[in-house]
Copies of this chain bind each other. A is one copy, B any other.
Amino acid sequence: MRKTGDLNLVKEINKSIVLDYIRHQSPISRARIAELAGLTKATVSSLVNELIGSRLVQEIGAGASSGGRKPMMLLFNGTAGYSIGVDLGVDYILVVLTDLSGRIVFERRHAHANTSVERVIDALKAAIREAADQAPASAYGIIGIGIGIPGISDGQGRVLFAPNLGWENVPLGPAIEEAFGVPVVIDNEANAGAVGELQFGTGQAADNLVYLSIGSGIGTGIVLNKELYRGSSGFSGEFGHTSIELEGKPCRCGNRGCWELYASESALLEEARKQLEDRGLDVGRLIRLAEQGDEAAIRLFERWGFYLGIGIVNIMNGINPGLIVIGGKLAEAEQWLKAPLLAAVERRSMPYPRAGMGLKFSGLGARSTVLGACSFAISKFFASTKVLVN
């Protein structure tokens, strides 16, 4: 049964248009919204007044006149509610509390040992509880919780498969939902990162973007037409497991020559530890070596940039997103990676689509995923007609 049209739908559409203008172009007046949106002043006035009634919008006083009555300026009331975002890593839990504008109010990173599913869920609950307790009093309170996981989930909050956690078929969403009594959204960590960059980071102007989460593997989050693309089986896309070497190294996924075997952080470190004969080497140390002018370290970054470039060209040619955002710990090494990466891309991509393409390092750094998780919760809050109808 497809969604049919009725007066409620009309109002919902228009109210969300009006709210979007106030969210993204504030301070703004009723008259200006009417002009921009193509609605009449009367309609906008009525909808704005309802939004004020539901505490999502505030009047902040008169603005400058342009030759007539002064406009009453409107502001989105970000503090009408709070959202909790969680980035569940293999050995850490990063939690933030944000208001409805995505402004971070509280942030905490916990270590976790991943001894059992129950322990992790308990740790998650404690971390979420701590964040929730920091939320100031507000009209709607905690409106939802978003969680980014290193694995895949179905649409109902169940973690289907998270190899690096050793999880299979864990009903994480329902567990958290039951504990806190608010809607919970679970999605892949790279998907969350992509949405984080779209809403609050480097990708705010983009329609289509691919977010690369580079760590022990390479995860990809794909946003098309401003919407997260989740793929047909919830398994939205893993460019990390596309082969760039026909008969390359075998990968645990069954394929050979997967991109992440060459361009992930783990791949870099493995090679670096071998070459530099240092078994405890990490990326920070490698960066310091490069800064000191160590030739071998610099060559390693150059090689890594090259491998990254290969896969990025494949993504550019394959789905031509307007923007590719490189995220994760990698952003720290931007200085050493950028030049060889751009060189590889330049050398191997077609001039035409490249011209319209952006390639940027994440501005949100390690926060892309948590902020994306918050955005899931906030979007769900606004989508649940609760606020927008009546």
Stretch at the interface among A59-67, A350-358, A363-371: A350-358
Hey, which chain B residues are within 8 Å of A38, CB to CB?
1-2, 4
A253 to B235, CA, bound (A): 30
The minimal Cβ–Cβ distance linking A267 to chain B, given in whole angstroms, is: 13
A151 to B239, CA, bound (A): 25
User: Given A235-B320, A253-B317, 15 more contacts at CB 8 Å?
Assistant: A1-B38, A2-B17, A4-B13, A4-B14, A5-B13, A7-B10, A208-B231, A229-B319, A232-B353, A236-B319, A236-B320, A237-B318, A243-B310, A244-B245, A318-B319
Instruction: Assess the A320–B231 pair: CB atoms within 8 A.
Output: yes
- The 3 closest A-B CB pairs, nearest first, are A231-B320, A232-B322, A5-B10
Contact partner of A349 among B207, B224, B255, CB < 8 A?
B255
Hey, which chain B residues are within 8 Å of A254, CB to CB?
347-351
Hey, which chain B residues are within 8 Å of A224, CB to CB?
224, 229
The minimal Cβ–Cβ distance linking A192 to chain B, given in whole angstroms, is: 17
**A106 sits at the interface (CB 8 A):** no
Hey, which chain B residues are within 8 Å of A238, CB to CB?
317-318, 320
**A148 sits at the interface (CB 8 A):** no
A352 to B243, CA, bound (A): 17
Instruction: Assess the B241–A244 pair: CB atoms within 8 A.
Output: no
The minimal Cβ–Cβ distance linking A248 to chain B, given in whole angstroms, is: 8
**A103 sits at the interface (CB 8 A):** no
Contact partner of A232 among B2, B248, B320, CB < 8 A?
B320
A322 to B229, CA, bound (A): 13
A36 to B2, CA, bound (A): 8
